[in-house]
Amino acid sequence: MKKVLLAAIQVALLMGFSELMNRLAAWTHLPLPGSILGIFVLFLLLQLRIVKLEWIELGATWLLAELLLFFIPAAVGVMNYIPLLEQDGIRILAVVMLSTLIVMTSSGLLAGALSRRKERQPS
């Protein structure tokens, strides 16, 4: 029970922090969303030990474990585009599927080949 409460407080902390990063991104006119800026800033704070890992680790672990859940409402939002999908849906699906396969094949095979080569020639 104590652990759940602690995780909830840490999630709230991370929410506050990401809101702060949104403001910072808007204020500095960076072409980056607050969440990406937030990764960099939090990473730096952790590296410099300004933020201690145990302050946020429990909350962060929970957020990452339940990540799929947070995409559900956005996925339900596709229902607003049913007319578009009725008209071009099959062709769009074909593009997205084929292109995703191409990306997986090219990035996965290249990364695999490069890391195997590195293993064979230890520096």
Q: Which is nearer to another protein, 73 or 120 (CB)?
A: 73
Q: How far apart are CA 91 and CA 33, in angstroms?
A: 30
5, 7, 104, 120: which one contacts another protein (CB under 8 A)?
A: 104
Q: Which is nearer to another protein, 1 or 69 (CB)?
A: 69
Judge residue 102's burial from the number of C-beta atoms within 10 Å of its C-beta, 0-12 exposed, 13-18 middle, 19 or more buried. Answer: exposed
Note whether 31 binds another protein by CB under 8 A: yes
Cβ at position 2, least distance to another protein in Å: 21
Q: How far apart are CA 123 and CA 118, in angstroms?
A: 8
Q: Which is nearer to another protein, 6 or 42 (CB)?
A: 42
79, 83, 120, 122: which one contacts another protein (CB under 8 A)?
A: 79
Q: Which helix (H) or strand (E) holds 112?
A: helix 82-120
The residue length of the chain stands at: 123
- Alpha helices by DSSP H, 48-81: 53-65, 67-76
Cβ at position 1, least distance to another protein in Å: 20
Note whether 68 binds another protein by CB under 8 A: yes
